[in-house]
Structure 1
Amino acid sequence: MFETINGMPAHVLMVHAAVVFVPLLALGAIVFAVWPAVRGRIDWAVALLAVVAPLSALFSMLSGNAFYRMREADGTPEQFLDQIGVHASYGQRTFVFSLGLAVVTGALLLLTRRATGPKALSIGLSVVAVVLAVVTGYFVVMTGDSGAAMSWKIS
């Protein structure tokens, strides 16, 4: 399932979803965390992104692992496989942090929707969400940059 789509490496296609949805989750989480006045208008979009973004990162990671195995099997030079490994490590971190961001954002959504719990908890979750959003954004950029650098070097 994660090897090819219509004869093309699946990773090349699936990565586009993560490139769009993960940064949108990071942006949505920041806006939701720091701007309470708009929470009621964007809560459904942030909740949807909290599900879709980590899934898109997961599918990108799984298809990337399949791409690595295909390159390994076809005798790709070790130097290039090492570059793929660096790219993959950034991609794994992107998935882990996007999942963490989704969980924290979901908890913040639930907490603010029910308007229960101490104010300090809402503030704490907001701070954690912003920090995770920034870290997630960093890893999205590093993942994309390392992947693009490889693509342009071999073209």
Structure 2
Amino acid sequence: MFDRVTGIPAHPLFIHAAVVLVPLLALVAVLYGVWPASRRHVRWPLVAFAVAAPVSVFFAKESGESFTSNRAFQSPQMKALIADHEGYADKLFWVILGLTVVGLVMAFMIPVAAGGTARIKAPAAAHWVAAGLSVVLAIAAAFYVFKTGDTGAHMVWEGF
């Protein structure tokens, strides 16, 4: 399923979704957490990106694992480069899952407008903890999406 799309390798196709959706989720989660005026505009994009980003990372990760079974990638040097790339991708997946949970919790715990009601009742301190976590996880997600992409790009552009 994750090997090919219409006859071409799926990994180069799927990674583009992750490269776009992960930074968008990070940006929208931070905006929602720290800038109250943005909340009424970015609440539903936050929910949408929180669903789409981990799915895109999962598809990119799984298609990459299918891609590595290719005979061209079996040299010890290539396996070491792939292991480095996969290590960053694994960390990205866990960070993006954390950011997804925090984003969804914020979307339903922090009211959209001042004095508004939230679907999840929580003390104000929980709002600040969630906002702080969103910033930390967004920075980690940005780092890991960059490092994952950078190691993959070096493998491609410097020749296997």
Q: In which range does the TM-score fall when normalised by the shorter chain?
A: over 0.9
User: For structure 1, which runs of at least 5 residues remain unmatched after alignment?
Assistant: none
For the aligned residue pairs, the C-alpha RMSD in angstroms reads: 1.3
Structure 2 Cα separation of the partners of residues 47 and 59 of structure 1 = 19
Instruction: Establish whether residue 99 from structure 1 lines up as the match of residue 104 from structure 2.
Output: no
- What corresponds to 2:80 in structure 1? 82
SS at match of 2:70: helix
Match of 1:117 in 2: 122
- Shift of residue 5, structure 1, vs aligned partner: 1.4
CA distance in 2, matches of 1:70, 1:152: 18
The residue type equivalent to 1:107 in the other structure is: V
1:61 counterpart = 2:61: yes
**How high is the TM-score relative to the length of structure 2?**
0.91
Q: What does 1:1-155 align with in structure 2 at a 5 Å threshold?
A: 1-71=1-71, 76-113=74-111, 114-115=117-118, 116-154=121-159
The 1-side partners of 2:8 and 2:78 are apart by 19
Distance 1:89 1:69 in 2: 17
Hey, which of these two has a bigger chunk of helix by percent? 1
Give the letter aligned to residue 12 of structure 2.
Answer: V
- SS across alignment from 1:69: coil
Question: CA shift at 1:95, angstroms?
Answer: 1.0
Alpha-carbon contact 2:102-2:133 (below 8 Å) kept: yes
SS at match of 2:158: helix
Within 1, Cα distance between the matches of 2:15 and 2:133? Answer: 26
CA 1:10/1:127 → structure 2, altered by over 3 Å: closer, same or farther? same
Aligned residues: 153
- Indicate if the aligned counterparts of 2:25 and 2:49 stay in contact, CA closer than 8 A: yes
Unaligned runs of 5+ in 2: 112-116
With over 3 angstroms needed to count, the CA separation of the structure-2 counterparts of 1:75 and 1:50, relative to structure 1, is closer
TM-score (norm 1): 0.94
CA positional deviation for 1:76: 2.9
| Percentage identity across paired residues of the two chains | 39
